[in-house]
A and B are shown apart, each in its own frame.
Chain A
């Protein structure tokens, strides 16, 4: 029953693009703020507020933003770890076809979950210390009735080999492994049921620099080999640029910019994106810039551009400012920004932005080294 409702929900709206695997439409999540003995609802935290994007098959969408911007909530809603307040999540399941995940009940979701898996941020918290690798990696195969017995062992062994660990490790427990090895175990677990979509929630931010590169390479190899589609949630812009085909930037629950990676990094249209790119410390001492705040002159470097240092802090999602949520920190804000909330519009082909002044501003992207 639930599946037919989910299919009807897809049929009622505009048809999804067959090149996409996932389409998120106007997704929102409001967490109630309660007070007093009877838990009266006194307000809402608008964690995710009308987010829409699509991920083409076999591609990677990077979702970036600072803590509290709603990027994790968005990814959890796609997997239905949180139920959305409103909106649609359209997914082309390999057995059921296009369905709206928000309309599925638990039993139908259980049939879909093997096809959408997750890789977690903290490899120390995401593996059960009481389970051997065989149990950790084999569990998704077992509960979904995909494999058991000797076949299960063989598949776990081949998964371990594929992620760069020795198959003899199947009887070991996670405690003896380093952070990078644990993240490989988490990746093997996510891949076990042959998913179509993998949500990677900050998969390398807990790892050392030299291990980060190994894991990023592994994720790219696996994507090619299995035709995986990634939603890559991260705050590190250089990692996101490296791995993503398209990038979505979130600020206080809203999507502020969405474009192909190179376009977004070289020709940003939103002042927040510009500030984010400018804030990333660049590993090149000759590009040393000093910000506008102190007006510090560097005694070295050619001072390419000044770092844009945003004033103040990220807006409170339970009490956001009127108009554009970014206006109190925006160096380009005008009176209109304080009153009228901008909507996401496609300004260039495939490049959407939600800013009133996007077509008149000339923003600076990442400085390309000569």
Chain B
């Protein structure tokens, strides 16, 4: 595996398909994952869906990246690409996914055979995934013990007894009540919160360096959600793992993540540190999303600011800036070809009017 060629450099205004500045050599950097201009397409009878269309972001060791967007924006497919589990007929048609394993050489995950031994050694061991729906992610005909020990025996070559012991310890760590008994239960015998804890324990059992969590609390009640969020923060501190956290809940993003990618129709429209995104959003879509949610503690009988129209059909993505039919500050002559604008350190916006003040 060779390091990627050094490209880019100085960029204030660049062409679409932004390429990040080259990282320092891996051992010196805290860079863990770097996605460059990723493109994923689904070829269907109705046409080609560009589910992910030029996504770039990076995750540093021990930090959390939030990926935000509405249904169909490509946030899940982006995450699936990292583990090479994009469902058919989807395939990666461009870009790189550079993974810098601790102490090892860099790997371009996008170039690996999705069924090959290299990715299988990483999947579930170094990069783990928490799926959105806890009932669907657990196999109903196997006990929790079976599903947890399988990866320990496979990846770490532990014996049956050792694997079971470590699985029980991990369950206890995630706050599962009576772990030594619960481990022999089936999915249907667990409550929603317990299932999600089992899923998290399964993901953590090999101590991954990156955890990808796809809406792990969306199906849960708010008090259970609070428990799970606290748990993830605590485990992140203890294991020093990085997280890629996918959600549409902006409250969770504000509480949990360090950097945010906002996606719209397969493209990242804004990328930056969480405080800047919430306090000074520069893309009209980010701003509209933040203003359309009712805020606790601000009782008013005023109307919410909503985004007009709806997300377009993925087969008919509007030409030029994909957000323009819904954008309140669209100007035909300026917005035809949006490019990434660097508005602050590590803060990029796909909007030609990103520098203009809001009225």
Contact = CB atoms under 8 A, between A and B. Distances in A.
Contacts of B293: 209, 212-213, 238, 283
5 contacts: A214-B307, A216-B294, A275-B223, A285-B278, A366-B297
A301 B292 CA distance: 23
A281 B229 contact: yes
Contact of A241 (B191, B230, B294): B294
Interface residues of A, number: 60
B250 interface: yes
Contacts of A178: 310-311
B217 to A, nearest CB: 9
B132 to A, nearest CB: 14
Interface string B272-314: 0011001100000000111011111111110111110011000
Interface stretch (A24-32, A111-119, A290-298, A331-339): A290-298
Interface string A156-195: 0000000000000000000000111100000000000000
A308 B289 CA distance: 27
Contacts of A66: 221-224
Given A208-B71, A213-B304, A281-B229, A235 B222 contact: yes
Contacts of B274: 285
Contact of B310 (A180, A220, A261, A314): A180
Interface residues of B, number: 52
Contact of B296 (A180, A211, A277, A310): A277
A271 to B, nearest CB: 12
B147 interface: no
Contacts of B292: 209-210, 212-213
A210 B294 contact: no
A238 B292 CA distance: 12
A367 B297 CA distance: 7
Nearest to A208: B70
B303 A283 contact: no
Contact of B70 (A210, A279, A309): A210
Contacts of A262: 299
Interface in A206-229: 208-214, 216-217, 220
A106 interface: no
A277 B192 CA distance: 21
Interface stretch (B51-59, B110-118, B251-259): B251-259
A287 B296 CA distance: 12
A212 B229 CA distance: 24
B139 interface: no
Contacts of B192: 67
A296 B256 CA distance: 12
Contacts of A287: 254
Interface in B188-229: 191-194, 221-227, 229
